Amino acid sequence: MHQPNCAACADRALADGGTTPDVADLLDGLPDNWGRWGDDDERGTLNLLGSREAAAGMNAALKNGEDAVERFTLGLPLTGEAISEDGGTGDPGFPGREVARRTNVSDERAYREGDQQASAGMKFSDDRFETPFYLQGTTHMDALGHAWYGDELYNGVDAAETAVEKRFETPVEGIGGEVTETRGHGRLSVAPLAGSGVAGRGVLLDVGRYTGGSEGDRLPMGTEISLDDLQVTAEAQGIEIRERDILLVRTGAMARTRDPDADWHPTDEPGLVFSEELVEWVHDHDIAAVGADNVAIERVTQRIDGETYVLPLHGAFLRNLGLPLVEMLWLDDLARACADDEVYDFLFTAAPLHVQRATGGPLNPLVLKATEE
């Protein structure tokens, strides 16, 4: 299963009969949150999550009493195994990102061979990554500055802020030699989101289970998920979407990366598709964050009014609404439990790895969900 980079995905989509439309025209006139929380805001819709929202999540978790609470983590394991064209299972490497592989740098073998001395009888093991560790190569949260169009990021921040150089006094040996300077986000990095964290009422919309058709609880490859699909799923589940909720959409796509017999390609995964109504619905409901079990939340390429667009909802959500996106979630275990007891809301908590100036950060969300007493 070949995994090209995002630019290659776009180039191929346009070469296959697409045009080069301007996403600014597509999104013109749709709502934004610029200035809503001040001109210097870098947290976006996470500003919506306060004490009451955290309490709403806790109330959902405790609705069946303190003896009926289940715990789920939604982060994918880093196996170091790559998905290849020859089949097999492995990490769902984001297009253009290699799989991360780690090794021990201090372990029992080193002690046996006399390479290190024990400290008063204590022995230790330690790790390092032997290959590049891409922060968006596993379950992660996008920074608000991760995607944009035109010359401005969320809240009117200059796009030049995405590539600000930083010099370090102390050099460190890196993969390609000594590292003494890097480029990164001067503003709108993942750091403000990591400092804030996420805690609130989460709702799972298991679109894969309710509209999966012949593939059971997985959406077929290439499936487009509309606002109507989300609303039909919510109605079938008997769950109400409330203001300031955290919305999780399950497609079944991530399970394919663990299934050697499944067809999977990152540019053809099922996902949300743009509509003005969807963007306005998300804004009107003050949805605080959106997550999904695919690489991009939305379909990578979308045909809209006869033209091909690449990730238009990233422009609408990240750039315009300041809405954090949580990608590549593992939702299958949570979904099975929700289907068994028909409880689809819960306490959702998460915080990305606090990496300064980064455009995204890995995370392992924790869900506490009420279950049968």
Block residue for tokens 């592989």: 101
For the cut 90, the answer to whether the pLDDT of residue 345 exceeds it is: yes
Containing H/E element for 27? helix 23-27
Residue closest to 216 by CA, chosen among 310, 107, 332: 332
For the cut 90, the answer to whether the pLDDT of residue 289 exceeds it is: yes
**Which is it for the CA torsion 350, 354, 359, 363, positive or negative?**
negative
| Confidence band for 327, pLDDT divided at 50, 70 and 90 | very high
DSSP-derived letter for residue 184 is: E
| Confidence band for 2, pLDDT divided at 50, 70 and 90 | very low
The residues spanned by each domain of the chain are: 6-82+138-370, 99-133
Q: How far is CA 161 from the centre of its chain?
A: 22
For the cut 60, the answer to whether the pLDDT of residue 29 exceeds it is: yes
The pLDDT, as a whole number, for residue 361 is 97
Containing H/E element for 345? strand 345-350
Q: Taking the model in full, what pTM does it have?
A: 0.91
Q: In angstroms, rounded to a whole number, what is the distance separating the alpha carbons of residues 292 and 206?
A: 10
Architecture of the domain delimited by 6-82+138-370: 3-Layer(bba) Sandwich (3.50)
Q: Which of 27-41, 80-94, 176-190, 309-323 has the lowest mean pLDDT?
A: 80-94
Q: Are 291 and 249 in contact (CB under 8 A)?
A: yes
Q: Are 328 and 42 in contact (CB under 8 A)?
A: no
Phi, psi of 295 (to 5 degrees): -80, -15
The pLDDT, as a whole number, for residue 113 is 60
For the cut 90, the answer to whether the pLDDT of residue 126 exceeds it is: no
Q: Which residues of 246-284 are buried (b: 16+ CB within 10 A; e: fewer)?
A: bbbbbbbbbbbbbeeebebbbbbbbbbbbeeebbeebbe
The pLDDT, as a whole number, for residue 213 is 60
Average pLDDT over residues 124-146: 92
Tokens of 151: 């010359």
